[in-house]
Amino acid sequence: MKKWQFWLGVLISIVFIWLALRGLRLEDFWEAVKRANYIWLLPGIAVYFVGVWVRAWRWHYLLGPIKKIPTKTMFPITTIGYMGNNIYPARAGEVLRAVILKRREGVSVSASLATIIVERIFDGVVMLAFVFVNLPELAKLTGASGFVGNIQQVAVIGTGVFLGALMIFLLAAMFPQVTAKFGLGLIERLTPKRLHAKIIGIMHKFLDGLASLRSPFNVLMVFFTSVIIWLLETGKYWFVMHAFDFSVSFFALMLMNGIVNLATTIPSAPGYIGTFDAPGIAVLTAYGVEHSMAAGYTLVLHVALWLPITLLGAYYFAQEGIRWSDSLRAEAADA
């Protein structure tokens, strides 16, 4: 909490919360929340956890060339990562799960982080695909809500960024020796000599983490599982929608899912406060959903996405018999 990055995230969240709540009639909002049929959250949560299991399988698949680790072992570590992302700033959960995997299975943090970055790149590509699939429909919507009007431009820029990053990682995976030689040159020019051995070691372990991308079949499998993961998460959006008195198409919820998850890459307070809610409300209001209903649904959806996985991750974290102590913090900071 002493770091300026934390308070910058809090400030950004406050701005997004203001954007989400301006003009909202609180009495109508609470009425929508009170009248919701919360039984629909149960199948939504179940579908979501199926998606988390598929996410754990994808990570097991990416780590396969380094070490074969069963999905049932990866699932608790994946939930711990979710917990870390939800309660710590700067997506610390990604580093946390890499550190725990090292403690449990001996996989280097550098190699784990390489696979985690690959995951995030594929997630970004799928999120942008969700947006592009709905661009014709998006063009018909009003931009009055503020977030929807320029999303086409944002999608084009984001596509360039994610596809560019994916291409770099694929080339690095297919040509590891050339990449290592190039990286060695940069290390020798840009870093102190006393750190060369350590940084070079990290680079080689990082390249080991990209080994699964050397096969076109593996790349297709990772992309396919990424699509399944995000379709299952959209399924949760669909189930939670049935708790409220409005209806939009599954494709509209795919668009909402894509936009809100791209927005959560913006630095914010832990738990993506504001950066999830404001874009979600904006998309629904652009589809004609009344503001208080859209706000009630988005708030309940946010809690339903945040709370179950955070509690399960905290349980598994406690089962590990470790705490967010100085030693674990030092490992994470070093990573």
Burial of 19 (0-12, 13-18, 19+ CB in 10 A): middle
Domain that holds residue 235: 4-20+37-334
Helices (H) and strands (E) in the chain, counts: 15, 0
Residue 296 maps to a domain? yes
CA 323/CA 299 separation, integer angstroms? 30
What is the pTM (predicted TM-score) of this model? 0.86
Q: What does the pLDDT read at residue 153?
A: 64
Phi-psi region of 307 (alpha: psi -120 to 50; beta: other; left: phi over 0): alpha
Residue 32 maps to a domain? no
Residue 28 maps to a domain? no
Residue 129 maps to a domain? yes
Q: What does the pLDDT read at residue 145?
A: 44
Among 113-122, 144-153, 173-182, the range scoring the smallest mean pLDDT is: 144-153
pLDDT at 133 over 70: yes
Q: What does the pLDDT read at residue 13?
A: 86
Q: What does the pLDDT read at residue 139?
A: 63
Residue 25 maps to a domain? no
Residue 147 maps to a domain? yes
pLDDT tens digits for 93-113? 898 999 999 988 999 888 899
Q: How far is CA 62 from CA 65, 68, 81, 145, 259, in A?
A: 7, 10, 16, 40, 26
Residue 27 maps to a domain? no
pLDDT tens digits for 217-242? 888 999 999 999 999 999 999 999 99
Length of the chain: 335
Question: What pLDDT band is residue 325 in, cutting at 50, 70 and 90?
Answer: low
Q: How many domains does the chain have?
A: 1
pLDDT tens digits for 19-60? 888 888 889 999 999 999 999 999 999 999 999 999 999 999
* Token pair of 180 as six digits: 């290592």
Residue 26 maps to a domain? no
pLDDT at 185 over 50: yes
pLDDT at 131 over 50: yes
